[in-house]
Amino acid sequence: MKKISIRTISQIIIVGIVLFLAFTHQQYGIEQASPIHAYCPFGALEGALTYIFSGEFLTKTYRSNYILLAIFVLLTIFFGRVFCGFFCPLGAISERLRALGKKLGIKKDVELPDTLDKYMRYVKYLVLLIIIYFSFRYTALVFDAYDPFSAFAHLGNEFDELIFAYSVLGFVVITALFSKGRRCRYFCPLGAFFALVKKLGFFKLKRDNNTCISCGICRKSCPANLKIKTADQITHPDCISCMECVNDCPKNSLDVYILGKKIKKQTFLWVVTGIFFITLSIVIWTPLWKTKPVSNIISDQGIIKVENIRGSNTLQYVIDTTKVPLTYFQEKLQLPVDIDTTMKLKEIGTTYDIKNLSGEIIETEDFRIAIDQYEEKKDNQEVTCPFGEVNCEFPGECGAYTDQDKNQICDYSE
């Protein structure tokens, strides 16, 4: 039986961590557990231009994204695209799916002709540019709706909202059964970024022409399907430093060099995994590591930013943060009197079978609209109590008592 490598163990740990984070977020909501987007280095790339020009983080991203990106950029400079080879959950799952495909009888990798394959590898750079541009233009994670990682981390939830992302995930899963790393090679924008960074790095893979017997085993083992046996140095940006070729070469003709110094394969695997997990374990205990702001629903100027209200916010949290009373939501959205306010907004409509005026089950957007209308009403009512009363209770001290939000306190005194 093939010995399980430290790289595989690292991949299993990462997939386990991602599933744990995804589950806790889905289970306990955004107030208890940050969305998975906060743990993806790609979020930092998507939000970089917005942050540079406005100092704002894109919704669902925060400092953690930038810290992770910085760690992986440094690792890439020294060790090549190890994010893709060791720490990408989708890459890990794709590799296991290809192994499953082989067990199911799809022994031969289904590949595009070499010339087409060569050009398809450039598509990911275009995808990267498009995403960075539109994320900046619309100040949002525009890729989220198509992101297979996002779909994976939603664990089957929000299927309607993420229908495209789930479709892409389905495509990734099916193609991974019969071909190696096709998504990574052709379409992955984060892979494209690390491929560019790798060009500046110190990692080299060299083939000894004197001992190589051109058996081609290395290409079969390579998840990036690289032509290794014809190159003296494997400098291709799609090499993900996985060491599979080094491991499987029957003549030990392949060696790793960093800063010109030869490194043993096993040392390489341990150093990469060790540096990452030790660095991460330290960083998450520093004050720098933050996966979400205390709340981004209220801006520094005290304005409610309804677009930052998430379906995973609980009703109670929204009430506490926005100061919009429960009675207003009950009246506006026909919420039951005994509603469980610890429920997430996205679950309320289906749980209580509440429909909006269009006859559709109410969603987070209906809460956002209600809050907007409440604020508008408040602005139009900038009339204050002529007697200076504060929180004047029913029936009021004068004849002007008004209580449109039905909280038993005169609106002029609130």
Which positions touch ligand SF4 (CB under 6 A)? 205, 207, 212-218, 221-224, 226, 228-229, 234, 239-245, 249-251, 253-254
- The residue among 43 and 201 lying less far from ligand SF4, judged by its C-beta, is 201
- Shortest separation between residue 18's beta carbon and ligand SF4, angstroms: 22
Q: Which of 278, 254, 258 is nearest to 268 (CA)?
A: 258
- Shortest separation between residue 46's beta carbon and ligand SF4, angstroms: 26
- The residue among 158 and 248 lying less far from ligand SF4, judged by its C-beta, is 248
- The residue among 208 and 320 lying less far from ligand SF4, judged by its C-beta, is 208
- Shortest separation between residue 267's beta carbon and ligand SF4, angstroms: 15
- The residue among 62 and 79 lying less far from ligand SF4, judged by its C-beta, is 79
Q: How far is CA 223 from CA 4, 250, 379, in A?
A: 17, 18, 60
SS (H, E, C) 367-386: HHHHHHHHHHHHHHCCCCCC
Tell me if 233 sits within 8 A of 206, measured CB to CB. yes
CA 146 to chain centre: 11
CA 218 to chain centre: 32
- Shortest separation between residue 211's beta carbon and ligand SF4, angstroms: 7
**Strands across the sheet containing 254-258:** 203-207, 254-258, 261-263
Amino acid at residue number 102: K
- The residue among 60 and 180 lying less far from ligand SF4, judged by its C-beta, is 180
- The residue among 147 and 238 lying less far from ligand SF4, judged by its C-beta, is 238
CA 84 to chain centre: 15
Bridge partners for 409 per DSSP? 393
Residue 20 burial (CB count, 10 A): 11
- Shortest separation between residue 49's beta carbon and ligand SF4, angstroms: 30
- Shortest separation between residue 259's beta carbon and ligand SF4, angstroms: 18
Amino acid at residue number 403: D
- The residue among 183 and 207 lying less far from ligand SF4, judged by its C-beta, is 207
- Shortest separation between residue 213's beta carbon and ligand SF4, angstroms: 5
Q: Exposed (0-12), middle (13-18) or buried (19+): which is 117, by Cβ within 10 Å?
A: middle
